[in-house]
Structure 1
Amino acid sequence: MRSFQKKMLQSAGFAAFLAGSTFLIAYKSEVPPAASVLTMPVDAKEIKLPAGFSAKILATDLGATRHIAVGKNGDIYVKLSKLKEGKGVYLLRDSNKDGVIDEQKLFGDYPGTGIAIKNGYLYSSSNKAVYRYKLNDKEEIVNFDAPEKIVDGLLDHGRDNAKSLTLDNQSNIYVTIGSYSDNCRMTGSGKGMSPCTILDSAGGIWKFNANKLNQTFSDGLRYATGVKNAVGIHWDTKTNSLFAAAHGRGKFDDFYPQYYTPKHSAELPSETLYRLKEGDDAGWPYIYYDHFQHKKILAPEYGGDGKKTGGEKAIDPTVAFPAHLGPNALMFYTGNMFPSRYKNGAFIAFHSQSVELHKGYFVAFVPFVNGKPGKWEIFADNFAGVDLVKPTGPIQHRPCGLAQGPDGALYVTDDLNGTIFKIDYKKK
């Protein structure tokens, strides 16, 4: 085990020892916690990266770590989707700048996903509201116990309820409201609701004033609709536009076996990256994108047969990915640490796996040149820690959140084991 890991664990009261290729970490305390022994089957050295890149683990066993934000002072804020010790946000700090987290603080009495730093505030979301915390000149939170509420009353129906957020440069905040229905079918049938009234309050991205307190859902503008569930959203300052990485729908063959086989359901539809402008419609639930045919296909709930096209007024995706990868975070890279080809490109954290690829649980990269995307690629792989073709054990890590540090490093959260990875680059 490397020295920084030993120091981190020992400072927190842990004793570590090596058994085969697996670290066993035992917590030493007079009052043992409920889970006194943890395992870390995937060491940072096992993350597969391009030449020159390396990964290290900054923290683990934090809980259900979702999105992440890193301040100019290096402070790390991590949102939790499940409360830990009654709190839902972590502050992690390396106070002496030696590369080891030596301070941890939990705050915020609400679970959720979204978190961002902008214009002197830390913004954080629950599953139905958005808050902000004032930062001082050192970019530290002034009062942990008194956040200001920006928006309340967002739909929280239990499924796909993460309220991801991002901010532009004009004091607007954009919030995802995912659909609680996978395909907007009428109850007990395979027929689609027409119109799909879910779109009135979900299945899209809403815009609010980031500087106005105590707004309600009705104060927002539906910026884009027909986006089933965009957990990964990001305002790209290079193109001055909103991008969204959206989850696709689920099965087709359950109600429509005459048109779709289980294989179709496993390989369709595409996961999609959209560049959105105000008023755009991405077409859900009426259509889906098929990356094999490179077409927008009419959904079977609305008369489709797997071949009929539809959505003439709906926008095309900027990039289409294989099905069911679960894009959970999106970040455009603006730092100077990584090689120049990464500048202004998009990183996407994929939270699940693709039957088509026999791959999953990775961070992808999409190069952008003059605002146009190139071919996507896998950037950081093997977070799963197992062979996904013939698994020999459980999945170990699921990438969920992305952030860029002040030095240009890339931070990746894992919501399965609560691990924070930091990816650096150094020329050889």
Structure 2
Amino acid sequence: MFRTLSVAIVALMAASPAIAAEPDGLILPPGFHATVVAEGLGPVRHMALRGNDLYVSTRHGQNAPSVGIIALRLGPDHKPVQTEHIPGIDQGTGIRIFRGALYASTGTGVVRFELGDALVPTAAPETIIDGLTATNHPIALDGQGDLFVGIDGGGGASNCPDPATPKDAKPKGLKPCPLLEARGGVWRFNDRKPGQKLADGDHFATGIRNMSALDWRGGDSLYGAWHGRDGTAKTWPELLTAADDDAIADEMFRITKGTDMGWPYTYWDGVKKVRLQAPDYGGDGKTSPTENYYANPVAAFAPQRPAVLDLTFYSGSQFPAKYRRGAFLAMHGGGADGTVLPGGHGGYNIMFVPFERNRAGKPEVFADGFAGPTPDAKQVKTAAYRPVGVAVAPDGSLYVAETVKGRIWRISYGE
């Protein structure tokens, strides 16, 4: 479905000089325009904005130096007039600004900076949370004193393997999964109290696999999006076809107290729109779990998992009414194993999920063309750009970050 829509937009681009004129070949709906804000920033992740100041979290690879948080002060043309680095914040993902403070996740926790008029905070950060499992930590604040932190479950064909399973046998999962005691979920903490550990938090929700996208929708609830299972058909080819594997969706959930999103015991088939028992827990690619307490996603992205990496709700008024309070999601792009797929992998775009009151609508492509001019360009090794972060600016424009060249765009409407 999404690939068909992408092809249609490419055809529209060829017929419309206004759309074709977008920088870097980006494809946007009529009336929208993109400009390059910055480039060459390195391994960027999520973003937060305050006035004309843009803060960008980063992660570094093996044998690469940490660059900390990148702080950019933007001029009237939305280009940097000052660039600084806030050191010591390593392997970050989540970053938020709330009530004059900058919250940023690290590999093992969350820190808080008091922001003054200067671009770089002058005071040392407070460690709000520490000692978490070293993984991605998206964060969200509800404005009522709560700080939500996601902790990944893990990756692979079987994420909670029974160590007693013979090495030459198919993976078998443990139930209950002991990993869920300290990861694979969302924890709620006090947003101002320093020195908190995992035990100080409220185990708010469980059953997530690999979540980097988390945001609070004002007047509603917490929402998160995460990656579906990989390698399932390769491990159990007698049970699942390649098409069955493609149907395993990336999922977006409305998360309330006690929500169980089903990992590692189940997965969501985005084509059949049904929850199925995972093969390492006795599933056969057709059978639903006997338990009825697993939550269904409010939106699912399939076939072909797009690798969702960020989520933000549109809180501005610059965009047309249909976008207000809806969700923008950064899709990093599938094919992380390097497999070249004719016609391209899923993702490499910005998706939009409209909301009517508190009900999610049908996902649609908002911005495309990041990988290249055709769907075939959507391959990990050749993609020109791979979206990783989205953030709404105070003026209502949408900022998009990507990882290949460390580039950031500003998308505006009617300017």
TM-score (norm 1): 0.83
Q: Does 1:217 align with 2:198?
A: yes
8 Å CA contact 1:176, 1:229 repeated in 2: no
Larger proportion of strand:
1
1:245 corresponds in structure 2 to: 225
CA distance in structure 1 between the aligned counterparts of 2:83 and 2:252, rounded to whole angstroms: 34
> Which residue of structure 2 lines up, in the alignment, with residue 120 of structure 1?
100
Structure 1 residues 381, 342: closer, same or farther in 2, change over 3 A? same
8 Å CA contact 1:325, 1:351 repeated in 2: yes
Q: CA RMSD in A?
A: 2.1
The reply on whether 1:319 has 2:299 as its aligned counterpart is yes
CA displacement at 1:103 relative to structure 2: 0.6
Match of 1:149 among 123, 127, 137: 127
- Provide Cα deviations, 1:202-252, integer angstroms capped at 9, x if missing partner: 11111111110011111111111001122110000031x100011111122
Deviation at 1:141, TM superposition (A): 4.7
Q: 2:354 aligns with which of 367, 383, 391?
A: 367
1:10-89 to 2 correspondences below 5 Å: 44=23, 46-71=25-50, 73-82=51-60, 86-89=66-69
2:208 aligns with one of 216, 227, 234: 227
Distance in 2 separating the partners of 1:262 and 1:369: 35
Residue 324 of structure 2 corresponds to residue 350 of structure 1: no
Q: Distance in 2 between matches of 1:43 and 1:53?
A: 9
Where do 5+ consecutive residues of structure 2 fail to align?
1-20, 336-340
Query: Is the CA contact (8 Å cut-off) linking 1:362 and 1:380 kept in structure 2?
Result: yes
Aligned equivalents of 1:82, 1:196: Cα separation in 2? 31
> Residues 189-204 of structure 1: matches in 2 within 5 Å?
189-204=170-185
CA distance in 2, matches of 1:348, 1:153: 29
Which of 263, 275, 289 is matched with 1:284 structurally? 263
1:362-388 per-residue CA deviation (whole Å, 9 max, x = no partner) reads: 000011011111111000001112534
The separation in 1 between residues aligned to 2:24 and 2:249, in whole angstroms, is: 31
Q: Which sits farther off after the overlay, 184-193 or 301-310? A: 184-193
Shift of 1:111: 2.5
Equivalent AA in structure 2 for residue 252 of structure 1: T
Residues 170 and 386 from structure 1, CA distance in 2 versus in 1: closer, same or farther, beyond 3 angstroms? same
Asked if the contact 1:238/1:344 (under 8 Å) is kept, the reply is no
Separation (CA, whole Å) in 2 of partners of 1:391 and 1:327: 15
The one-letter code matched in structure 2 to 1:350 is: M
- Residue of structure 2 in register with 1:421 after alignment: 409
Cα distance per residue 1:404-423 (max 9 Å; x no partner): 11110000110221101110
Query: Could you tell me how far apart the structure 1 residues matched to 2:233 and 2:146 are?
Result: 41
CA distance 1:394–1:163, change in 2 (3 Å): same
In structure 2, give the amino acid aligned to 1:272: E
Within a 5 Å distance, the mapping from 1:324-335 to structure 2 comes to 324-335=305-316
Question: Retained in 1: the 8 A contact 2:314–2:392?
Answer: yes
1:130 aligns with 2:110: yes
Is it true that 1:296 corresponds to 2:271 in the alignment? no
Correspondence 1:249-288 to 2 at 5 A: 249-265=229-245, 267-288=246-267
Contact 2:96 2:104 in 1 (8 A): yes
Which has the larger displacement, 354-363 or 249-258? 354-363
1:404 aligns with 2:392: yes
Q: Give aligned pairs, total.
A: 376
**1:167 and 2:141 are equivalent in the alignment:** yes
Report if aligned partners of 2:209, 2:264 keep a CA contact under 8 Å in 1. yes
**By how many angstroms is 1:99 displaced?**
2.7
Aligned residues with identical type, % of pairs: 35
Pick one of 153, 176, 179 that aligns with 1:179.
Answer: 153
Q: Does 1:387 align with 2:374?
A: yes
CA distance in 2, matches of 1:113, 1:200: 22
Quick one: distance in 2 between partners of 1:93 and 1:215?
Answer: 32
Runs of 4+ in 1 over 6 A off after TM superposition: 354-357, 390-393
Identify the match of residue 208 of structure 1 among 175, 189, 194.
189
**Relative to total residues, which structure has the larger helix share, 1 or 2?**
2
How big is each residue's C-alpha offset from its partner over 1:288-312, in whole Å with a ceiling of 9 and x where there is no partner? 1112211110111111111111141
TM-score (norm 2): 0.86
Other structure's SS at 1:264 match: helix
Partner SS for 1:223: strand
Residues 377 and 139 of structure 1: CA distance in aligned 2, closer, same or farther (over 3 Å): farther
C-alpha distance in 2, partners of 1:87/1:357?
A: 32
Indicate if the aligned counterparts of 1:82 and 1:112 stay in contact, CA closer than 8 A: no
Q: Is the 8 A contact 1:82 1:88 kept in 2?
A: no
In the aligned structure 1, how far is the partner of 2:400 from the partner of 2:352?
13
Aligned to 1:17: none
Q: 1:135 to 1:292 in 2, by over 3 A?
A: same
- Separation in structure 2 between the aligned mates of residue 305 and residue 180 of structure 1, nearest angstrom: 22
